[in-house]
Amino acid sequence: METTLLQLKGVPARLKSLIQREADGHRRTLTQEAIVLLEEAVLARASSQRQTRDEIDHILDRYHQLPTKDQRPMQEMIDYDGLGLPE
């Protein structure tokens, strides 16, 4: 796996302390722990977005399977006045 340098500036001391505590608990360096946490966060976000898209697709599929009860075009179902507003 190819690696590259990523430098973070302005990390709040509290956040660095929390990451260091996690690193110590997992016997990792601060850098290793930060990489693991970033990877988990990015994968979780991608999974959440994919799940939302799948849910929307499922709803649309169900909608398209519904029967059409009135075959008339919308213009024939609604009467419009001279200004083009529905009556």
Q: Which residues, 6+ apart, have CB-to-CB distance to 29 below 8 Å? A: 23
**Averaged pLDDT for residues 63-71:** 90
Q: What is the mean pLDDT of residues 5-30?
A: 95
Residue 6's nearest CA partner among 39, 49, 48, 44 is 39
| Residue 86 backbone dihedrals phi, psi, to 5 degrees | -65, 140
φ/ψ region of 27 (left if φ > 0, alpha if ψ in -120 to 50, else beta) reads left
Q: Provide the whole-model pTM.
A: 0.59
Give the pLDDT confidence of 23-44 residue by residue, as tens digits: 999 999 999 999 999 999 999 9
Decide if pLDDT at 60 tops 90: yes
